[in-house]
A = this chain, B = another copy of it.
Amino acid sequence: MEHKLREFFDNALKEVSLDCTVFGFHEGELKVLLLRWKGTEEWSLPGGHILLDESADDAAGRILSQRTGLSDVFLQQFYTFGNVNRYVYHPEKELLEKLEATFGKGFFDGIIFRRTVSIGYFALVEFAQVQPTPDWFTDECRWWSLAEVPRLLFDHNEMIERALKALRQRIRNQPVGYNLLPEKFTMPELQRLYETILDRPFDRRNFQKLLMSYDILERLEEKRVGAANKSPYLYRFVKEKYDRAGLEGISFSM
């Protein structure tokens, strides 16, 4: 296995890594996918290295697909982290000791590099579709509510902060939701997604008016039943129109 890893690095960029902030939406909360490193209580974002014959975007897709089981996810680069002190919360020695206890002494020689720059990606995924899967360095992969994210390894807390900013920026120029919600959803659910991402309330009537004005949503005959209240209509995105709106840009200015 060690052998396989070294082989991987022979075919990969060493000084460049890549980390993904994977956003999901569940029970009215934004969540991110985190990994716990083998033999430790330390968490980090999913990430990895770029193969020599692979673009950065392809690498991000590959890594994401390995951690979630999904392909063709919404995935976008948002910032490249190039500080010298990116490892400030790298309990450098202690972490290495713990990991060597698990992986064997000297295992990381030639795998942990003197300095790396990391390209930050964020992904939007449908919570229920994800099969969180740890990688070879980690033994747990699970969702965390944004508010409960612990202190992470490296500069990964900063990465999440910036990813969230990028998402908030994006939501004002492009529709968001297709990737985060199940195929059919209600208007109040979509509204809660927007309220969660932007962390502020909207007026129901104005919200519906604005979203419908983009002409990317289709209201279905079906309603969601089961709650002790009036059954809300179900909607779905019209993919072609949604994609077109994404390219041409919208102005969500509430």
Alpha-carbon distance A115/B15, docked complex (angstroms): 11
Q: Which of B13, B79, B82, B119 contacts A115 (CB 8 A)?
A: B13
Does A52 interact with chain B (Cβ within 8 Å)? yes
Q: Which of A19-27, A30-38, A53-61, A103-111 contacts B (4 or more CB under 8 A)?
A: A53-61
Interface centre among A50, A53, A82 (most CB of B within 10 A): A82
Q: With A and B bound together, what is the CA distance between A114 and B56 in angstroms?
A: 15
**A82 and B117 form a contact (CB under 8 A):** no
The chain B residue sitting closest to A59, CB to CB, is B82
Which residues on the B side are within 8 Å of A52 (C-beta)? Answer: 84, 114-115
| A216 lies within 8 A of chain B by Cβ | no
A196 neighbours in B (Cβ, 8 Å): none
Cβ–Cβ < 8 Å partners of A14 in chain B = 15
Binding site for B on A (CB under 8 A): 13-16, 50, 52-57, 59, 77, 79-80, 82-84, 114-115, 117, 119
